[in-house]
Amino acid sequence: MMSTDTPTIVLVGHGMVGQRFLEALAGRGLTATHRVVVLCEEPRPAYDRVQLTSYFSGSTPEDLSLTDPEFLERHGIELRLGDPAETVDREARRVTARSGLVVGYDVLVLATGSYPFVPPVPNKDAEGCFVYRTIEDLLAIEEYARRSTTGAVVGGGLLGLEAAGALKGLGLTSHIVEFAPRLMPVQVDEGGGAALLRTIEDMGLSVHTGVGTQEIVVGDDGAVTGMKLSDGSELATDLVVFSAGVRPRDQLARAAGLAVGERGGVAVDEQCRTVTDPRVFAIGECALAADGRVYGLVAPGYEQAETVAATIAGDEAAFAGADLSTKLKLLGVDVASFGDAHGTAADCLDVVYADSRAGLYKKLVVGRDGTLLGGILVGDAEAYGTLKAFTGSVPPVSPESLVLPAGAGAPVQLGPSALPDDAIICSCNNVRKGTIREAVTEHHCTTVPEVKKCTKAGTTCGSCVKVLGQLLNAELEASGVEVDKGLCACFSQTREELYEIVLALRVTSYRELLDRHGREDARGGDGCEVCKPAVGSIIASLAPTIGAGTHVLDGEQAALQDTNDHFLANLQKNGSYSVVPRVPGGEIAPEKLIVIGEIARDFGLYTKITGGQRIDMFGARVEQLPLIWTRLVDAGFESGHAYGKSLRTVKSCVGQTWCRYGVQDSVRMAIDLELRYRGLRSPHKLKSAVSGCQRECAEAQSKDFGVIATASGWNLYVGGNGGATPRHADLLAQDLSDAELIRLIDRFLMFYIRTADRLERTSVWLDRIPGGLDHVRDVVVHDSLGICDELEALMAAHVAHYRDEWAETINDPEKLARFVSFVNAPDTPDPVVAFVPERDQMKPDLPLLAIGLRPADDILEGTATR
């Protein structure tokens, strides 16, 4: 019953918005003056539904959790899991839960969220049909996928694409069925949808747009066997996920007599108080705001939660609508939209940059007076934070400079320091630039984590964290504070400065470098996870010149490596490893193919042709690695360095030897380059390609250094990247002879290794380094700094001293001793590493992930004792 002493707040629902409401109550001290009871339908506390799909890439439910028992206990919050509210008696002001518990309230807050919309098609509830909304949904999908081969997702919106990616990650052939003529019809326009479609199809997913689902086809056992589509076609599938949008969960409110909108949603005013009952509030996806909208994003829900907490505390607050801008990474593709993305305003203009081959589409909507009204970014959303913050104002630079990529003739780029103070930096938590500046100047925050804790910026989706760092440094420098640009807490020098120290003083060990040049409080210590691999890479790249050991597992070097380098193989999600022998240029003799097949068969490995024209063998246990390497080395193979921050592959087409269009021998050149630069340690991985003609079949312009044949020789491109943030390479020099080409690549790579930051790809380095491409060309082509002889000598030393890491390991008993799962039981295999059959091969069996175990972490933890 209702307490007469302590007023009671009852919260119905404990999702992301509900948890933010509890935090807002605690922040205002209301948990000390009120009894707070939370009735939650799910069996677990609030978790990050925005990052839900990360469960399939290894995140556990605990990783996704947004609260902890300490918070609830500290604030006296009574959380009842699996006990949802079933009835509300507004006259008596009490709520009855499923368990029979009756709780009186002074204030009732509905945060019941939404439910997935499932189209009313025949057999929609058949075995094999799922929705994609909760962790329990994901667990059920994961279990059913074990006995499925094909999956289809109904809906091509945000969650639909995430669901399709999850099915693909589970090993299913995946389809997306979208009724609209394009994917993500709410967020992107026709051009953005086309770019997104091309990229997703290139990933191996099948997309069906402009068609609806007419019927779910079932077999004699009642399980799904296919789908009938509105165009008359039929799609074979044994698993269906409905992700066709959501609807407000307002049933409890309807039953209680609260007013709801025509299309659903509990009607509320600007304080999020229901228009029917002043003691009842509604927030999040179940609320129909005063502007007539139901907001389906987390940021507006957070703002509503803060509004209600302020109203309960007696402060003036109002929710007057919210920014619907979004930035997401779907299937590895950046997609963002902000402001008037579709250009609905009168008399507006579009500024568009599109590169369909690279999957890039950028559009800005600009008013006649130059005001930035909105935009869409697909494939590269790096400028999202800056662009969104300028929405509604006239940027200080031309619109085209904000969408053209580096290397495409764009004027000077605009940084976040140019933004006005009222610009929204973190839309999830509605944090403005001025608030971040105040965190630095008034609250004395000096690190990004301190700013995040002070302002809540960057604590939800994380897309603004990079901008936070830039604003923090700019504000510290403006205040006269010297910004620490050191590599880490152990070294005040940058990576580039440490490289010069190691080279000039011939420093051959991490311990020597730390004790002589580290920060005073770090000397004599053990270092950290940032500087150890970075210094290890520097010493490895300079080893022949400074006289250090050239094997990554020699002496102290072994302790500096991350798990992949530590075992000379790639750690996979179930704790097993993959083995990738080098196949220069993709050219391989039949005898070597047979050896790979025999090894894969004998060790039960999963085999896959990689995008770099090699064969990857997955599923090796750590103690099996030396046995596999021995057979490969005996057959003439060597390490492909798929595990290292080093050269991976030099891809090639068949060139003039076979192709009627080829004008140069691209295979020979690719093999020469790969054998020359194999084992070269660098700040990040290196990829290359050689195309035998301008048709560019090897995709050289998406590589760190790419070569394209011409009738007169070779064109050299640098700084490309085909990864999460695609970037076309820039032309460094053209019509080069073989000798000129190799000489320039030598210089370029050593200059990059010398000046790049840790974990910085050539694409990022080229955009960051002062002077950009022009400066790099001056240095490596025209020798403007007079260092080219030194760069060439460094590369020559590397080439002369290269030795295969696998061959040296299997011939060294001391190194071999580390290849066991357990030091105290070397003959015991890791019990976590298990497999199940699929498509005549095998795949990881990961049931332990569902109960919170993380095999990869267990392996990482164990390496310290091996």
Burial of 810 (0-12, 13-18, 19+ CB in 10 A): buried
Q: Quick one: 74 exposed, middle or buried, by C-beta within 10 A (0-12, 13-18, 19+)?
A: exposed
Measured between alpha carbons, how far is 757 from 687 in angstroms, rounded to an integer? 18
3-state secondary structure of 477: helix
Which H helix or E strand runs over 239?
strand 239-242
The three-class DSSP label of residue 433 is helix
Residues near 703 by beta carbon (within 8 Å), at least 6 away in sequence: 651, 687, 688, 689, 717, 720, 722, 729
Q: Are 535 and 560 in contact (CB under 8 A)?
A: yes
Determine the Cα–Cα distance for residues 195 and 140; give it in Å rounded to an integer: 32
Helix (H) or strand (E) holding 791: helix 788-801
C-alpha closest to that of 710 among 766, 773, 661, 767: 661
Determine the residue type at 3. Answer: S
Interatomic CA distance for residues 173 and 325, integer angstroms: 32
Beta bridge partners of 10: 37, 108
Query: What gap in Å lies between CA 63 and CA 849, rounded to an integer?
Result: 12
Give burial (CB, 10 Å; 0-12/13-18/19+) of 147: exposed
CA distance 109 to 301: 13
Classify strands 239-242 and 234-236 as parallel, antiparallel or unpaired. unpaired
Largest CA distance in the chain: 92
Q: What is the H or E stretch that residue 247 is in? A: strand 246-248
Q: Indicate the annotated binding residues for siroheme.
A: 697
Numbered residues of the known binding site for [4Fe-4S] cluster: 653, 659, 693, 697
Question: Residues 188, 194, 198, CA angle at the centre, nearest 5°?
Answer: 125
Per the structure block, which two tokens stand in for 151? 């999956």
- CB count within 10 Å of CB 842 equals 16
Would you give the distance in Å from CA 648 to the centre of its chain?
21
Helices 531-546 and 495-505: crossing angle, nearest 10°?
30
Burial of 792 (0-12, 13-18, 19+ CB in 10 A): middle
Cα–Cα distance, 333 to 716 (Å, whole number): 28
With both helix axes pointing from N to C terminus, report the angle between 738-755 and 788-801 in degrees, rounded to the nearest 10: 100
CA 423-429-430 angle, to 5 degrees, is 30
Q: Of 743, 708, 750, nearest to 729 (Cα)? A: 708
DSSP label at residue 727? B
Cα–Cα distance, 77 to 24 (Å, whole number): 13
Which letter does DSSP use for residue 277 in this model? -
Distance of alpha carbon 161 from alpha carbon 632, whole angstroms: 40
Contact 853, 832 (CB under 8 A): yes
Q: How far from the centroid of its chain's Cα atoms is residue 506's Cα? A: 38
Q: From CA 443, how far away is CA 437, in angstroms rounded?
A: 9
A 10 A CB-CB count for 120 gives 6
Q: Which residues are annotated as a binding site?
A: 653, 659, 693, 697
196 and 378 in contact (C-beta within 8 Å)?
A: yes
Q: Which two tokens stand for residue 699?
A: 């995709």
Report the run of H or E that residue 217 belongs to, with start and end: strand 213-218
